[in-house]
Amino acid sequence: MLQNQIRIVQDAPKQLLRLRQLTTKLNVSRSTLYSWLNSHSKYCIPNFPQPIRIGCGRAVFWNEIEIDHWLEGQVTSTTKKANLK
């Protein structure tokens, strides 16, 4: 079973991002990322994609496609706000 999970992750490197890859892509720190995910934080971003936990829950990944869609939405909302001014 574990070998199947490892194979899935290895076969889809462009679709799943590890924490370090995600922080590099977004240019944010690990603590910032987790504060965006924490519903009790004042910096929480409710529509930020949730992590995918594989195995015993220690391996954490994010779907790169969901992250890209979220980024596109951020650019779109920023552009709309700029046009309103």
Residue type, 48: F
Contacts 24+ apart (CB under 8 A), 25-28: 25/67, 26/67, 26/71
Q: Is 62 helix (H, G, I), strand (E, B) or coil?
A: strand
What is the model's pLDDT at position 1?
46
State residue 41 phi and psi, 5-degree precision.
Answer: -85, 145
Segment 29-70, tens digit of pLDDT? 999 999 999 999 999 999 999 999 988 878 999 999 999 999
What is the model's pLDDT at position 80?
64
Q: What percent of the chain has pLDDT over 70?
A: 74
- Mean pLDDT of the chain, nearest integer: 83
Segment 35-46, tens digit of pLDDT? 999 999 999 999
Beta strands in the chain, from DSSP E residues, in sequence order? 16-17, 52-54, 59-63
